[in-house]
Amino acid sequence: MLKLLKWNFIDYIRKYYLILLGIFAANIVFSLFFIGSFSIDFSFEYGIPVYRFYTGERLWVQLCIITISLLSISSWIERRTAPLEASVSMPPWKILLSKILIADITSTAVISLSGLAVYGINLIANPSVQPYYWISRPADDFSVILLYSTTAILAFIFAKSFKLTRKYPLPATGIIYIVVTRIYGMIYWTHVRSFPIFPETGIIILFVAALFILGIMLYKYRFQIR
């Protein structure tokens, strides 16, 4: 498993480091000039201006995560190197887990580092700004990114598992991604916001576990590259 993760990670970084740097830079520019982080990404806690490290609420961030996640399964999309992976005798859960971990770790790194850079820039503008999420809720950020990256990978596996969607996997992936994230949104609003029985991280872990099991079943019995 660790060897698979190592080789997939080396391949991922060597192939896509320029794209990842581009996403990192675009994230900073977008946060500063388009979202307008000087106002929107800040809230006031006890009268102190606090910088919130955004996670999943914004479309832009979701686009970053979905792109980074789909790059982690690019061998299934472009098909050229798929036979190399297909030759390895490895159970489906290990293959899937390695893809999800790569997507999650990379997305978290890109988003956190660009967030940190934006925070630094803001700090220069206003020295009294204090980071909020970054310090107090890293598990939340990581788990929200885990949710979105798992959903993106699961959506692609789903699209490649049925005749109807196999021909147009990327548009189908987008639609499935939206449907699954909306379902999560409904669960979140019902069980976390309206009736706060579970913490959000707990709901996300349950939701991701369900997606992961579904992904393994589809990968094992239905998924095919073409």
Partner 1 sequence: MSVILSVKSGIKKFGRKQVLDGVNFELPAGRIVGLLGPNGAGKTTILNTVMGLYRLDSGEIQICGEAIGYKSKRLMSYLPDTNHLFTWMRVSDALHYYTDMFPDFDRDRATELCSLLEIDERSRTQSLSKGELERVLIMLIFSRKARLYLLDEPLGGIDPLSRNKIVKTIFSQLDTESTILISTHLVKDIETLLDDVLFLNNGKVIYSGSADHIREDRGQSIEDCYMEVFKNA
What residues make contact with partner 1 under the rule CB under 8 A? 3-4, 6-7, 11, 14-15, 80-84, 86-92, 167, 220, 222, 224-226
Between 31 and 72, whose beta carbon lies closer to partner 1? Answer: 72
Amino acid at 6: K
Between 63 and 84, whose beta carbon lies closer to partner 1? Answer: 84
Contact of 98 with 5, CB cutoff 8 Å: yes
Query: Tokens 């020295």 label which residue?
Result: 127
Q: Where are the alpha helices (DSSP H) in the chain?
A: 2-29, 59-72, 74-78, 82-87, 92-125, 133-136, 138-159, 163-166, 169-188, 200-221
Shortest reach from residue 157's CB to partner 1, in Å: 14
Shortest reach from residue 22's CB to partner 1, in Å: 18
Shortest reach from residue 219's CB to partner 1, in Å: 10
Shortest reach from residue 120's CB to partner 1, in Å: 32
What is the Cα–Cα distance from 37 to 7, expressed in whole angstroms?
37
Shortest reach from residue 132's CB to partner 1, in Å: 40
What is the Cα–Cα distance from 82 to 73, expressed in whole angstroms?
10
Between 11 and 140, whose beta carbon lies closer to partner 1? Answer: 11
Between 163 and 193, whose beta carbon lies closer to partner 1? Answer: 163
Contact of 174 with 91, CB cutoff 8 Å: no
CA neighbor of 110 nearest in space, from 73, 60, 41, 171? 60
Between 82 and 121, whose beta carbon lies closer to partner 1? Answer: 82
